[in-house]
Amino acid sequence: MKVINLTEPMPTKIKFYQLSQWPLWALAFRPFFLAAGALAVFAMSYWFLILAGYAQWHLTMPATLWHAHEMLFGFAGVVAMGFLLTAAQTWTGVASVSGIKLCLLSMIWLAARFSFFIEIAGFEQLNLYIVSALQLVWWLAGIIILADMLIQAKSSHNYLFVVIASLLCALNVIFLSLVVLNKMSLALGVVDTAVLIMTLLVGVVAGRVVPFFTARGLNLSEQVRTPKLDKLVVFSSFFAIAWFFMSQLFFSAMSTGWVFAWLACLHSVRCVLWWHKGILKVPLLWSLHVAYWALSVGLILVALSYFSPIILFKDALHLITVGTIGVMIIAMMVRVSHGHTGRALQAPAYISLAFVLIVIAAIVRSLLPVYLGHHLAWQLSALLWVAGFSLFLFHCAPILVNRRVDGRRG
């Protein structure tokens, strides 16, 4: 029997803990997409239990604001950062974050999720301070890594993504600060502004990938290019975001509706120009197009909510959060998970069902509350969302934790 000498120094390297060698930590999309899928299922399941009365909410932060934070800054935020840190390596040729650094970044994000539920007598808001600190560190680390990659490659046309990520970081911190100060209505306004920032990100990314993926997926001779319209969408989006944010304090509500109507028209033009009848035969294409159509229709409904009491602003906005952000995210996560692991860009039939479930969830949440009642519509939408992202996890979790099929690293 071998005797262990406790006086000898322990080995500095243990193979099991060589995290840089684990496929999960090869590129940011792997742990971040896996984390996003898990949060999409568990956070929405908990939200459903709260709505249905099966779970009690004891924290000082209102459950509605927790739900908004986790779906936007937690779920959508980690997907955005995972996509950008992965895509930046392709854009620049500069190695992205991986290994132990990526593991630590993932642990910080995960710790922020659990920190919401810290309860210490006499320190009721301690959890919010911890979450704020963790979220700030996570955002800043990701932004610095992204900025460093782009600056090294002098990729100035991609600096916009650093600006967008920085705005999301700022709004995240402002949101949590307002909750601490018990300024709940202002906090909700910040969330709505952050949703518009996400639509800006969707607009920029979609402008690059949707025409390209469409031409490639349908074997078209050339892709649709609209550089002037793309720039107009970006500038108009920034204007709409700034106008909406300021309108919460100074401007009339009706004038804001016209701003959203203009932005909706621009996105609608893109939808028409990008459309091709062959899209309907390819799930990884129609899902992206449907998500972008939902943005156009959602903005139209948001605009109409300023003129008609029949259409509620929050219901209209959920066509964007669920139908655009949710559908775009699940479609892009499946596509990137396949493409960056050397797999064919063909998803099984149940992934098409997952796309359909999220689309229906968006319709139920945004258009049917008037007919079903808000409470029932919210619960049904949550269940559809959970079912869709459960199918995503079933399919993509094994892909994300295993090596590329072609043996390359990434």
User: Are 365 and 377 contacting, i.e. CB atoms less than 8 angstroms apart?
Assistant: yes
What pLDDT is recorded for position 15? 52
Cα 90 to Cα 9, 40, 97, 126: the distances in Å are 42, 27, 13, 40
What pLDDT is recorded for position 16? 43
Compute the C-alpha angle 260/302/186, nearest 5°: 95
Which amino acid is it at 356?
V
Report the distance separating Cα 99 and Cα 361, nearest Å: 36
What pLDDT is recorded for position 235? 96
What pLDDT is recorded for position 2? 44
- Give the contacts of 385 (CB within 8 A, at least 6 positions apart): 40, 44, 322, 326, 357, 358, 361
Q: Identify the burial level of 207 via C-beta atoms within 10 angstroms of its C-beta, where 0-12 means exposed, 13-18 middle and 19 or more buried.
A: buried
Report the distance separating Cα 171 and Cα 163, nearest Å: 12
List, for the chain, all residue ranges whose pLDDT scores fall below the cut of 50.
1-14, 16
Phi/psi of residue 81, nearest 5 degrees:
-70, -40
Distance of CA 24 to the CA centre of its chain: 20
For every residue of 320-383, DSSP letters joined together read IIIIIIIHHHHHHHHHHHHHTTT--S---HHHHHHHHHHHHHHHHHHHSHHHH-HHHHHHHHHH
How many other CB atoms sit within 10 Å of the CB of residue 28? Answer: 27
Spell out the SS3 assignment of 203-230: HHHHHHHHHHHHHHHCCCCCCCCCHHHH
Nearest-CA neighbor of 317 among 10, 72, 116? 72
What pLDDT is recorded for position 407? 65
User: Are 69 and 175 contacting, i.e. CB atoms less than 8 angstroms apart?
Assistant: yes
